[in-house]
Structure 1
């Protein structure tokens, strides 16, 4: 039996506030999900897949491992809209989504 597995999506989002946005987003979702984060890295198990965030000095690395190909667009939209909400001073952030693998 073959099951379709969606590729991991990765975006390098230009911002010098990556750590702040990572922490705000993880705290926001910690009320609903078993979030694990530090100022440098965060992991959120969302209903549509796993979200990993890594703060670099000039970028926020956003990685989504979708549960299926059907949720790829929704995953990108939900994560981007939430990050834009916290980054309202510099939103909309530039997401250069690419497939890893």
Structure 2
């Protein structure tokens, strides 16, 4: 199962995580746990994302059954975060291939 990770250093990591979870919850199932430092989970079709945030940034771990689904999930996360972080002039995330956990 292909997996990828990305992170973005920002003081607004928690805010962006909440914003992403609230936005995604309009169309897909989302879990958000504010008590443990800001953690979220969501699925984009067959792709599943784990998200975490704190005062230093926001992190994503994405897995999917195939590269096409993985790429779609990366695109959804990235396009929304870029839009929400427009004041910080974020242009893209630097996704890294990762070994499945």
Q: Report the TM range for the smaller structure's normalisation.
A: 0.7 to 0.9
Consecutive unaligned residues of structure 1, counting only runs of 5 or more, are: none
Kindly indicate whether the alpha-carbon contact (under 8 Å) linking 2:42 and 2:50 is maintained by their aligned counterparts in 1.
yes
Q: What's the offset of the Cα at 1:68?
A: 1.2
RMSD: 1.6
Consecutive unaligned residues of structure 2, counting only runs of 5 or more, are: none
Tell me the TM-score normalised to structure 2 length.
Answer: 0.83
Structure having the larger proportion of residues in helix:
2
Kindly indicate whether the alpha-carbon contact (under 8 Å) linking 2:7 and 2:59 is maintained by their aligned counterparts in 1.
yes
Q: Which residue of 2 aligns with 1:29?
A: 24
Query: What is the 5 A alignment of 1:8-87?
Result: 8-39=3-34, 40-87=38-85
Q: What's the offset of the Cα at 1:20?
A: 0.4
* Bigger-Rg structure (1/2): 1
Consecutive aligned runs of 4 or more in structure 1 exceeding 6 Å deviation: none
Tell me the TM-score normalised to structure 1 length.
Answer: 0.83
Kindly indicate whether the alpha-carbon contact (under 8 Å) linking 1:18 and 1:58 is maintained by their aligned counterparts in 2.
yes
Kindly indicate whether the alpha-carbon contact (under 8 Å) linking 1:13 and 1:95 is maintained by their aligned counterparts in 2.
yes
User: Aligned equivalents of 2:92 and 2:10: distance in 1?
Assistant: 9
Report how many aligned residue pairs link the two structures: 96
